[in-house]
Structure 1
Amino acid sequence: MKKKTFVLAVLCAVLYAGPALAHFGMLIPDTDELTQAKRTVNLILSFSHPFEGQGMELEKPAAFFVAVDNDQRIDLLPTLKKTEVMGHTAWKTSFTPKAPGLYTFVFDPVPYKEDAENNYIRHITKVVVDAYGEGEGWNTPLGLDTEIVPLTRPFGNYAGNVFQGVVMVGGKPAPYTRVEVEFYNKDGKRKAPNERMVTQEVIADGQGVFTFACPWKGWWGFAGLNTADKPYEGRELEMGAVIWVEMK
């Protein structure tokens, strides 16, 4: 009996010691550009480990909107319809711009309770869609509690391009922020040689700037992670600034 208990304890220790999968708020459109031939964008909101294809429940977000040319904001929360991604609750909607411009979609979730890390997770997630080639000002902050302001145009990129951005917290650059990077392995065809290769990681410099080269075509997520000044419901609150960029 003692031997069985010892073996079980060792197995639990090994499992616990394994690397934790990275969480990502996900906001994936079916295109990063709208044209006369493609006038409506369809979007899926979810919460998951995107490379491993492991989903988590996403409550209806606290807020979801589109910023038009970084100015006018249109509330899209009432348009969300429940769907499923990776076997868990997710949300979907469609949007048809009325004019050319830059359309930045943003969702702010209800903080997710993560018992494995004894904290809550709030990933403010955005993606940029260019309508009819008129997108300007893509490097303009939206004034979110935390966000990644792109220094590389966040649409119309080739696979292999470098993506660069600034992690902002409270409207100011956040120096030396840890940025997790992960590929949306939607079809499951990509295989990591080991667990360390699933989530890439870079550290922003003293001005909050980070750089990463994306080797494959598809959607890449960047999550700048900081801890909120105040706890949420008695636990530490992870504040994630997330942006999704497609490489073609």
Structure 2
Amino acid sequence: MNRPIFARTLAPASLLSVSLLIAGGVQAHFQELIPTADIVTADTGAEVGLELRFTHPMERGPLMDMGQPVRFGVAGPNGVEDLTATLNAEKTDGKQTFSADYRVKQPGDYVFFVEPAPYWEPAEGVMIVHYTKVVVDAFGAEAGWDTEIGLPVEIEPLVRPYGLWTGNLFSGIVKQNGKPVPFAEVEVEWINDGSVTPPASPFVTQVVKADANGHFSYAMPRAGWWGFAALLEGETPMKNPDGEEVPVEAGALIWVKATDMQ
């Protein structure tokens, strides 16, 4: 998948590598953080389960191994809670994934977020860190959905990110260090349930471009979970497993669910 914003900042050798990969086709990586429900009601109960996977959603895999997340938490009515200790490491298709359970304590909006362990992608020559969040509304409070965590890169929703019908327009602002990123490219993928076979590679990952104020929009054409990922260059290089300093792909992700009208 072509990622020109990030690629423009790479060294010549890295640019050559990216160019070769574009010619051969590259799958988009997405950090998933998916709750059992985006709206908690008396009928659903107060328990929210969350699944954390690093994968290619539209292509239904493959999964990548996740390391122990650096940070996992929730911003809710009572502030920010550290939920790292609640994570359960699991094996899915031979790869490490994580899950967690959270009990909602009072009405409000809960912004779950994760800073995963950096992932080395040798095919692209970068360390990948996707700062990811998802919002769950509890008991009809509908307040706090636009709370920002203060992540290095983050998408601020301009549309309430739950209670959305299929076809609704989702909008947000791409930010880095709290400031809008002009003309950022945002990759969009749907978690494929097996009912859709993309007819060509451009249908796998949708691409939209933000305006000069970092604002982007996308109309979700099918029910299910949609991931929005703005892939930016991290400010500080990291060392890969061989001890070499390499660029960082800092991803700002948010997950939004669309629901069919019945």
Normalised by the length of structure 1, the TM-score is 0.90
Which residue in 1 is equivalent to 2:175? Answer: 168
Q: 1:235 aligns with which of 226, 233, 246?
A: 246
Count, aligned residues: 234
Which residue in 2 is equivalent to 1:43? Answer: 50
Secondary structure in 2 aligned to 1:175? coil
Query: Aligned partners of 2:249, 2:48: CA distance in 1, in Å?
Result: 30
Which residue in 2 is equivalent to 1:65? Answer: 73
CA RMSD of aligned residues (A): 1.6
Q: Is the 8 A contact 1:139 1:153 kept in 2?
A: yes
Secondary structure in 1 aligned to 2:85? helix
The CA deviation string for residues 87-114 of structure 1, in whole angstroms up to 9 with x for no partner, is 4211011111111011010000111000
Cα deviation for residue 86 of structure 1 reads 5.1
1:220 maps to amino acid: W
Cα deviation for residue 15 of structure 1 reads 8.4
Aligned: 1:194 with 2:200:
yes
Query: Aligned partners of 2:85, 2:197: CA distance in 1, in Å?
Result: 38
Q: Is the 8 A contact 2:110 2:145 kept in 1?
A: no
Please say which of residues 26-35 and 87-96 is displaced more in the overlay. Answer: 87-96
Query: Aligned partners of 1:81, 1:175: CA distance in 2, in Å?
Result: 38
Secondary structure in 1 aligned to 2:238? coil
Query: Aligned partners of 2:100, 2:118: CA distance in 1, in Å?
Result: 21
2:149 maps to amino acid: L
Aligned: 1:103 with 2:110:
yes
Q: Is the 8 A contact 1:46 1:85 kept in 2?
A: no
Secondary structure in 1 aligned to 2:250? strand
Cα deviation for residue 189 of structure 1 reads 1.6
Cα deviation for residue 229 of structure 1 reads 1.9
Query: Aligned partners of 1:93, 1:110: CA distance in 2, in Å?
Result: 16
Q: How does 1:94-243 map to 2 (within 5 A)?
A: 94-185=101-192, 187-233=193-239, 234-243=245-254
Cα deviation for residue 175 of structure 1 reads 0.9
Which residue in 2 is equivalent to 1:10? Answer: none
Mind listing any 5+ residue stretches in structure 2 that lack a counterpart?
A: 1-19, 240-244
Cα deviation for residue 216 of structure 1 reads 0.2
Cα deviation for residue 33 of structure 1 reads 0.8
1:247 maps to amino acid: A
**Percent identical:** 44
Aligned: 1:18 with 2:24:
yes
Query: Aligned partners of 1:175, 1:27: CA distance in 2, in Å?
Result: 26
Normalised by the length of structure 2, the TM-score is 0.86
2:246 maps to amino acid: R
Query: Aligned partners of 2:201, 2:59: CA distance in 1, in Å?
Result: 10
Query: Aligned partners of 1:100, 1:183: CA distance in 2, in Å?
Result: 29
Query: Aligned partners of 2:152, 2:185: CA distance in 1, in Å?
Result: 17
Q: 2:256 aligns with which of 242, 245, 248?
A: 245
Secondary structure in 2 aligned to 1:124? strand
Which residue in 1 is equivalent to 2:17? Answer: none
Secondary structure in 1 aligned to 2:199? coil
Which residue in 1 is equivalent to 2:100? Answer: 93
Secondary structure in 2 aligned to 1:144? coil
Point out the structure with max Rg over C-alpha: 1
Q: Is the 8 A contact 2:108 2:144 kept in 1?
A: no
Query: Aligned partners of 1:204, 1:138: CA distance in 2, in Å?
Result: 21
Query: Aligned partners of 1:174, 1:137: CA distance in 2, in Å?
Result: 23
Query: Aligned partners of 2:231, 2:210: CA distance in 1, in Å?
Result: 11
